[in-house]
Structure 1
Amino acid sequence: MINKQEQHSFQSETKQLLHLMINSLYSNKEIFIRELISNASDAIDKMKFKFLSNENLKKQHRNMYIRISLDKKKNTIVISDNGIGMTKQEIIKNLGTIANSGTKSFLQSLEKENKKNSQLIGKFGVGFYSSFMVSEKVIVKTRHAEESNEKNGIMWESDGKGKYTLTSIKKKEYGTDIELYLKKKETIFLENWKICNIIKKYSDHISIPIEIQEYDEKNKIFSWKQINKAQALWTVDKSTITDDQYINFYKHITQDINDPIIWSHNKIEGTQEYTILIYIPSKSNLNIWNRDQKNGLKLYIKKIYIMDDADQFLPNYLRFIKGILDTNDLPLNISREILQENNITNQLKKSITKRTLKLIKQLTKNEKKYKIFWKEFGLILKEGIAEDIQNQEQIAELLRFTSIQSNCIEQNLSLNQYITNMSQNQKKIYFLTSDSYATAYTSPHLEIFKKKNIDVLLLSDRIDEWMMNYLTEFKGKKFQSINKIDDDLNQIINIKPQINQKSKKMNELLIKIQQVLKDKIKTVQFSYRLIDTPAILLVEKDTMSTQMSKLFMAAGQNIPNIKYILEINPNHKLIQKIADIKNDETINIWINILFEEALLSERGSLDNPNDFIKKINTILLNS
């Protein structure tokens, strides 16, 4: 209860948003109706859920409604609902700050755009604040359903200029009334036909009756007329639903400015009975990498709303999926904890996961749309290779890569395409992991592959090295990292050792290198995969790769030093020059430079770069 009128200030981002709305012109002001209706619908859904656990409220149950009344004399619109209402703390949280719906980031991007593009805000789900686009003052009267004393209602009031007031009021019914005092130039929204058209356009799918007050001039009485169909969209025969209806429903449940890229609507009957309506967004959520942020489906049981963000029905790597699950197989009083351990939940999860992967595969048929999907969600989908072994091959089919033959940074190549393009004697899928595309594409490991026209996948996302530890085979073809020893490579590239006449000197050089670098390398050998590079470093098949060790070190993990295999190119002029050196001190410096150059190329860094520079300077001076 509020003892006297309280004055509060809006959060800074809210002030910024309100300033934009009040002082700019927007082409789509009618969305304020959509937003306020959506909020009212959510409040009623939450009220229905309360009935499941509160017998007292259930006894008071009345027909749920959203009502709109227009008053041309007062220049007001009132939108009322008998939903759950709000407490004082909820009012401050919901009406005084911007929720985590992307509004803040939208504002930041808006600042970078020109005046013309700022019209986009008219399409953005700005929720309650959109009412200030048409109103010079807004009053909210509310009482929470669990507040039994009707004297403990609360009134929120603001002109949208930086402050708002809270006052205790008497409110007979629980729920919320929003009174909009329209600006003089916005009187079009006081016409019944206008409001009815807006609701049919945006909110016809709302499952709560939306009623508008009408006045009978002849009998001098007011009555309520229902505007919408009041049937939950997912319960309607999908053959009768238009694309626009699906899109509007998506925006209603997600508050997303963008259209979904694809959706799937199915009613399943048999051992499991459920209806699923899932969407793939066209833009990723700003909070999708935040582990504390809940992602998941809206859960209904027998058409009764249960909870938002039910993440138990999809694996984490599909957390970008939005939509509705309505099942008949779960009890109404289920909690998140019980859901986690429920066998029916696990069965539903398996079924919905397969349907979702099928939907993504369907999207691959549209190359343009799949490029959008991969750019937004490709990194997240890669997590599924390790997380979902059961569906690993289906997920692998959806992955996209770049390669040396693609010759561009865009990841458009599928594994099926790679296998189709494999050379005749090629038995493995070759790949290289690196910190960046540029580093991968210029790697000396690729020299022989480029010469022999053997394609290599170039993986430069941070998750790739981890993913490839789990993705070991695809359609009978094993994966092979080209910076690891490969016994089959010489057969594929069909190169026989061609050491020149100084082979004796070269063999002596091998011995010398082994002696000088004995504590730094596992062994040294000739390489036949190098063309323009004097030396490279490799690791054995079962040894941790350089890229994986870098990831562990970045995470603060202590790992043992990798003992590399040094391969030298006997046909390179630098190697031949080093082989001719007689002075032990000079050749020792050259051998260390050779090793550290290869190490710099492999790791991208050296433990002691100053010492390396000192060696280079010594050689330059002697030359």
Structure 2
Amino acid sequence: MEEKKTLKFQSEVKQLLNLMIHSLYSNKEIFLRELISNASDALDKLRFLMLSKPELNKKIQSPCILISYNKDEKKISIRDNGIGMSHEEIIENLGTIAKSGTKSFLKSINTDVLKNNQLIGKFGVGFYSAFIVAEKVIVRTRSFLSDKKDGVLWESNGQGEYSVSNIRKKEIGTEVILYLKDSETMFADEITIKNIIQKYSNHVSFPIKMQIQKTQKNKIITPSLQSNLTWNQVNTGTSLWTRKKSDINDNEYKEFYKNFFHDDQNPIAWSHNHVEGNQEYSSLLYIPRKASWDIWNRDNKHGLKLYVRKIFIMDQSNEFIPNYLRFIKGIIDSSDLPLNISREILQNNQATKMIKNSLTKRILLMLDNLSKNNPKDYQIFWQEFGLILKEGPSEDNKNYLNIVKLFRFSSTYTQSNIQNVSLDDYVSRMQSKQEKIFYITADNYLSAKNNPHLEKLKEKNIEVLLLFDRIDEWMMNYMTSFNKIEFQSINKNNEYLEKIFDNKTLDQKKSEQELSPIILRIKSYLKDKVKNVRFTSKLINTPAAVTTDEHDITTQMSKLLISTGQNSPEIKYIFEINAVHPLIIYIFKIQNQKQFNNWIDLLLEEALLSECGNLEDPNKFVQRINNLLITHISSKK
């Protein structure tokens, strides 16, 4: 046997190794994921070689990964019967930091095999994560090429040196033995190890088995490798998303969703795809039936579960879906994503963006199909997640049209607070000469439905979208048009609206002309309380209303700014008067200036209350009504 040799790590110094061990990984339990991944790679390498060398089948046992532990000795062992390493390979692969055996192996095999490989090690540093928890690491390995029982022993304490010696080893493959630091002995525990395996490595293709420790007279008996009865498989070894869609039925998709995402309800819909080309990945996306309690907080983590070749990498990877689709639950599994060196962080590059664009389009298509093929379920989706989807126009201009055609609204056509009117529905019912899509924003459905601005439009059978969600006013800043048809708020003054309303009768025109001096009288009294005073023909049953100028901030936007702690510009309203309303005719006949002023104040406050939902001084408003009622009663005596 060759004597034990002590060597220095070839490519890095002690300080760099120390930095990598203590700073590269943020989560200590990652070490087990990395070592299991290495074992899985070794089994994959051997499997590929067996394709071209069938004679190897005779010397290969059933591929598996075995994990044992010993609390008393503070030891964990990870064993595989994979390709193993020779004396030269162990120095090359473990003696040089960031020297990846997997990477070299990939270069050595042909392109056809490479396309179907399941190897995930690309940096060659995963092995060294063992030193996060271990004060000493021993590797016992034997190459599949060794006809004899010659193996190699590698040993290091992670302090810049390692030793290599020849040993006798019966089985081919590799065993990594970790002697844990005193502060990390919690990892030599059955439940802890199982939880880590099921979290990160549950879908590894090869069986991962753990020892069953038997106690005999207060002694723990560690099972032998030869006895299958002393090992239990921990991982499921199955990953639904890697199977062919044609082999999976609906019940399997539903049960997988409920078990995997811990939801007791079936999903509304799902999309399963395998993509090949510049990026090769599998995705399985679900639309839940109910919103999670924290989904309304945009700062909370969301995203897909990220796997690389069935190895769990990240729980909530938000690089693949935009924030306005954060209700989606799902999995993405790829072989060539740009992870950082510790495989904990997804680097943002062009490949990631391309996958995100593709998944975004796929989700929007899934929603579109749901809306067309299953309107009932789509209505459930909209009630749960419509507010979140409404964030889309501001975030994703590229998919603007595909987003807004998914929106649903209440309208004056349906006379219901249920939001089930699409923009396509609205456009199909537009009047022949109607050029814009009309909408109104308000605090709630009843305020929108009964708003005086709607009176003339209802009379003309012109449909108006009723927007009463808090986000709507902000959203409409980004929704400028739909299929080249512009949106028009009826809360604002606009020339196009005036053309629609400009169908005054001769009596109205005569009345307004005769009463025009009264407008000057009102302006003189109100002064800078309003921006302007004028007659309007859009009101029928309401004596007066207020509106904002086309380029001024709206009432709802002002409320939104204030609710978020921002300053809102003061709104100067346009005071619009219905000249043919009986109350206006009565008021305009009043000669007493004080009474006239009281009536004008009352009309303005009524209009402001209708528009804003509140008044600066409601008590004064009530007092004014009471005084006018008393005056009226007194005049009748």
Question: Does TM, normalized by the shorter one, top 0.5?
Answer: yes
Instruction: Choose from 546, 552, 565 the match for 1:556.
Output: 565
Structure 2 counterpart of 1:453, which letter? N
Q: Deviations over 1:134-188 (max 9, x none)?
A: xxxxxxxxx999365569799xxxxxxxxxxxxx99958795469xxxxxxxxxx
Structure 1 residue 427 corresponds to structure 2 residue 430 = no
Partner of 1:413: 421
8 Å Cα contact 1:444-1:536 kept in structure 2: yes
Structure 1 residue 538 corresponds to structure 2 residue 547 = yes
CA distance in 1, matches of 2:275, 2:228: 47
Instruction: Choose from 452, 476, 496 the match for 1:444.
Output: 452
Change over 3 Å in CA distance of 1:349–1:223 after alignment to 2: same
Change over 3 Å in CA distance of 1:56–1:386 after alignment to 2: same
Q: Deviations over 1:218-270 (max 9, x none)?
A: xx983668799723211111110122222222223311111111111111111
CA distance in 1, matches of 2:28, 2:268: 29
Q: Deviations over 1:111-142 (max 9, x none)?
A: xxxxxxxxxxxxxxxxxxxxxxxxxxxxxxxx
Q: Deviations over 1:377-425 (max 9, x none)?
A: 1000000111111111110010000101111111101001100011111
Partner of 1:260: 267
Change over 3 Å in CA distance of 1:173–1:427 after alignment to 2: closer
Instruction: State the secondary structure of the residue aligned to 1:222.
Output: helix
Instruction: State the secondary structure of the residue aligned to 1:455.
Output: coil
Partner of 2:314: 307
Unaligned runs of 5+ in 1: 1-42, 68-80, 84-142, 155-167, 179-203, 215-219
Deviation at 1:346, TM superposition (A): 1.4
Instruction: Choose from 285, 296, 300 the match for 2:303.
Output: 296
8 Å Cα contact 1:145-1:175 kept in structure 2: no
Partner of 1:241: 248
Deviation at 1:341, TM superposition (A): 3.1
Partner of 2:604: 595
Instruction: State the secondary structure of the residue aligned to 1:305.
Output: strand
Partner of 1:209: 207
Deviates more, 1:428-437 or 1:325-334: 325-334
Change over 3 Å in CA distance of 1:237–1:288 after alignment to 2: same
Structure 2 counterpart of 1:574, which letter? L
Deviation at 1:363, TM superposition (A): 1.0
Instruction: Choose from 379, 385, 405 the match for 1:397.
Output: 405
Instruction: Choose from 203, 225, 231 the match for 2:238.
Output: 231
Structure 2 counterpart of 1:324, which letter? I
8 Å Cα contact 1:425-1:492 kept in structure 2: no
Change over 3 Å in CA distance of 1:358–1:212 after alignment to 2: same
Structure 1 residue 322 corresponds to structure 2 residue 309 = no
Instruction: Choose from 572, 584, 590 the match for 1:575.
Output: 584
Partner of 1:347: 354
Q: Deviations over 1:550-574 (max 9, x none)?
A: 1112223222321111110011011
Partner of 2:165: none
CA distance in 2, matches of 1:252, 1:145: 32
CA distance in 1, matches of 2:497, 2:187: 83
Instruction: State the secondary structure of the residue aligned to 2:319.
Output: helix
Q: Deviations over 1:68-118 (max 9, x none)?
A: xxxxxxxxxxxxx989xxxxxxxxxxxxxxxxxxxxxxxxxxxxxxxxxxx
Change over 3 Å in CA distance of 1:304–1:611 after alignment to 2: same
CA distance in 1, matches of 2:325, 2:278: 24
Deviates more, 1:249-258 or 1:384-393: 249-258
Structure 1 residue 146 corresponds to structure 2 residue 144 = no
8 Å Cα contact 2:268-2:289 kept in structure 1: yes
Matches within 5 A, 1:55-134: 63-64=64-65
TM-score (norm 2): 0.66
Partner of 2:480: 472
8 Å Cα contact 1:151-1:171 kept in structure 2: no
Amino-acid identity (%): 46
CA distance in 2, matches of 1:409, 1:430: 17
Instruction: State the secondary structure of the residue aligned to 1:362.
Output: helix
Deviation at 1:484, TM superposition (A): 0.7
Deviation at 1:49, TM superposition (A): 3.8
Structure 1 residue 358 corresponds to structure 2 residue 356 = no
Q: Deviations over 1:445-465 (max 9, x none)?
A: 111111111110001111000
Partner of 1:527: 536
Instruction: State the secondary structure of the residue aligned to 1:294.
Output: coil
Instruction: State the secondary structure of the residue aligned to 1:309.
Output: strand
Structure 2 counterpart of 1:254, which letter? F
Change over 3 Å in CA distance of 1:383–1:48 after alignment to 2: farther
Structure 2 counterpart of 1:424, which letter? S
Change over 3 Å in CA distance of 1:580–1:177 after alignment to 2: closer
Deviation at 1:345, TM superposition (A): 1.4
Deviation at 1:64, TM superposition (A): 4.3
CA distance in 2, matches of 1:169, 1:348: 39
Change over 3 Å in CA distance of 1:382–1:264 after alignment to 2: same
Instruction: State the secondary structure of the residue aligned to 1:282.
Output: coil
Instruction: State the secondary structure of the residue aligned to 1:600.
Output: helix
RMSD: 3.9
8 Å Cα contact 1:526-1:567 kept in structure 2: yes
Change over 3 Å in CA distance of 1:511–1:207 after alignment to 2: farther
Structure 2 counterpart of 1:542, which letter? H
- Give the number of the structure whose alpha-carbon radius of gyration is greater: 2
The total of aligned residue pairs comes to: 468
Deviation at 1:211, TM superposition (A): 7.2
Matches within 5 A, 1:250-289: 250-289=257-296
CA distance in 2, matches of 1:276, 1:229: 19
Change over 3 Å in CA distance of 1:283–1:44 after alignment to 2: farther
Structure 1 counterpart of 2:302, which letter? N
Structure 1 residue 510 corresponds to structure 2 residue 522 = no
Deviates more, 1:302-311 or 1:576-585: 302-311
Change over 3 Å in CA distance of 1:221–1:551 after alignment to 2: closer
Structure 1 residue 620 corresponds to structure 2 residue 629 = yes
Change over 3 Å in CA distance of 1:144–1:287 after alignment to 2: farther
CA distance in 2, matches of 1:426, 1:419: 10
Deviation at 1:594, TM superposition (A): 1.0
Change over 3 Å in CA distance of 1:289–1:574 after alignment to 2: same
Q: Deviations over 1:356-392 (max 9, x none)?
A: 1111111112111101110111000000111111111
Deviation at 1:507, TM superposition (A): 1.0
CA distance in 2, matches of 1:349, 1:212: 38
Deviation at 1:501, TM superposition (A): 5.5
Partner of 2:175: none
Structure 1 residue 482 corresponds to structure 2 residue 469 = no
